[in-house]
């Protein structure tokens, strides 16, 4: 499994022992982790291949092949800044990039509800195709299934990507954060999640929040080819920044200290989160990453990130320490608190 497993469940979970799947099992947070650890890992564990990362690495002939899969069930399927088609391509491309891979091929599979609009399908397919084309990735395999009305909610997409390492020596993974490393976030967080929430609830804000859904390939490629010794990259998706930092801390067996006031959050996202009572640190992005890099590479990494529109706001938000495994947040008023993983389900069907 390439998911966020092998991680610890630090505090007691809400009672999930009902024998039934709950929405929280798909949140990307603690309940997802529990499901993966209890159900999937015991069956699918393939030794060294199970590294619980954004993508798996496995030998192929003399080379390493990188593979990642995701299903997309986002609701609504069209949202400001994208739709389920472009999202499904961006997400899979980014997962491959996080392991230091050049994305090459994507297989895409559609599950469609009977009665779905063919025009909307065309638009979604077109968005997926142009997202792939923009990133130089080929969609080479596909499948379509149709189910009866009410057996699926409009349309779901599954994408699987395959890539090769830019350099065979690249070792980039969420288990490689080291004491002293800088923690960089590539841009303002929470736009995707809040764009979905606002679209779903027909919120009318002064200016519409646009999803940050985008391919990070170009920027990551430049970083990797620049030989900057990136230790870890993790795209900030389900569970948001807080959950992703916890995954890195736990996989790497390190602590991560971050400072609240350094985290880039737009006023729009902050405002919408306040209205809805959500914490932006747990809201998903689809075009933002955390990079863990040695201090010596930090300026060069930021210089490269700042060249790309989607990472113009990249900045250091904290550092890796050798304290007890956890994520510490220094708040604006100077106090410190432990930032835990997402528990339960905050925003269902965000991707």
d(CA 298, CA 182): 7
Q: Cα(first)–Cα(last) distance of the chain, in Å? A: 19
Q: H/E element holding 81?
A: none
In whole angstroms, the minimum distance from the beta carbon of 63 to its own copies comes to: 5
Q: Which of 6, 7, 67, 216 binds its own copies (CB under 8 A)?
A: 67
d(CA 340, CA 329): 10
Residues pairing with 330 in the sheet? 259, 336
Binding mask 124-153 for its own copies (x = CB under 8 A): -xx-xx--------xxxxxxxxxxx-xxxx
In whole angstroms, the minimum distance from the beta carbon of 347 to its own copies comes to: 12
Of 55 and 327, which CB lies nearer to its own copies in the complex structure? 55
Size of the site for its own copies (CB under 8 A): 81
Q: Does 313 bind its own copies (CB under 8 A)?
A: no
Of 40 and 203, which CB lies nearer to its own copies in the complex structure? 40
Q: Does 62 bind its own copies (CB under 8 A)?
A: yes
Segment lying near its own copies (by CB under 8 A), choices 111-119, 205-213, 221-229, 274-282? 111-119
Binding mask 8-47 for its own copies (x = CB under 8 A): -----------xxxxxxxxx----x--xx--xx--xx-x-
Q: How far is CA 110 from CA 115, 146, 152, 163, 256, in A?
A: 14, 8, 11, 22, 39
The DSSP bridge pattern shows strands 101-113 and 232-235 to be: unpaired
Q: Does 76 bind its own copies (CB under 8 A)?
A: no
Q: Does 121 bind its own copies (CB under 8 A)?
A: yes
Touching its own copies, residues 175-234 (CB under 8 A): none
Touching its own copies, residues 269-308 (CB under 8 A): none
Helix (H, G, I), strand (E, B) or coil at 173: coil
- CB 106 within 8 Å of CB 152: no
Q: Does 49 bind its own copies (CB under 8 A)?
A: yes
Q: What is the DSSP string of 276-310?
A: HT--GGGS--SS-EEEEE-HHHHHHHHHHHTTSGG
In whole angstroms, the minimum distance from the beta carbon of 151 to its own copies comes to: 4
């Amino acid at each position: 499994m390439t998911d966020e497993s092998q991680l610890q469940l630090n505090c007691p979970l809400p009672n999930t022992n009902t024998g039934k799947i709950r929405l929280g099992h798909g949140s990307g947070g603690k309940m997802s982790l529990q499901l993966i650890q209890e159900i999937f890992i015991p069956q699918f564990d393939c030794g060294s291949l199970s590294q619980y990362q954004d993508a798996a690495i496995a030998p192929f002939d003399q080379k390493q092949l990188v593979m990642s899969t995701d299903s997309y069930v986002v609701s609504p399927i069209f949202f400001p800044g994208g739709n389920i088609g472009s999202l499904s391509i961006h997400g899979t491309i980014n997962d491959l990039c996080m392991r230091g891979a050049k994305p090459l091929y994507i297989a895409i599979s559609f599950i469609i509800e009977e009665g779905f609009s063919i025009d909307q399908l065309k638009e979604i397919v077109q968005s997926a195709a142009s997202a792939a084309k923009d990133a130089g990735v080929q969609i080479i395999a596909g499948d379509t299934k149709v189910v009866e009305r009410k057996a699926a909610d409009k349309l779901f997409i599954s994408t699987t990507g395959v890539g090769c390492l830019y350099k065979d020596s690249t070792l980039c993974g969420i288990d490689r954060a080291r004491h002293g490393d800088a923690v960089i976030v590539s841009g303002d967080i929470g736009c995707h999640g809040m764009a979905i929430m606002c679209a779903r609830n027909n919120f009318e804000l002064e200016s519409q929040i646009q999803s940050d859904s985008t391919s990070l390939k170009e920027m990551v490629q430049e970083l990797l080819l620049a030989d900057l010794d990136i230790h870890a990259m993790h795209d900030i998706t389900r569970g948001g920044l807080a959950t992703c930092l916890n995954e890195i801390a736990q996989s790497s067996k390190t602590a991560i200290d971050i400072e609240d006031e350094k985290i880039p959050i737009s006023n729009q996202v902050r405002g919408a989160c306040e209205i809805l009572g959500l914490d932006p640190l747990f809201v998903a992005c689809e075009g933002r990453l955390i990079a863990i890099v040695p201090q010596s590479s930090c300026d060069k990494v930021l210089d490269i990130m700042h060249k790309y529109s989607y990472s113009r706001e990249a900045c250091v938000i904290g550092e890796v320490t050798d304290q007890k495994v956890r994520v510490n947040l220094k708040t604006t008023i100077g106090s410190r608190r432990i930032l835990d993983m997402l528990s339960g389900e905050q925003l269902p069907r965000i991707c």
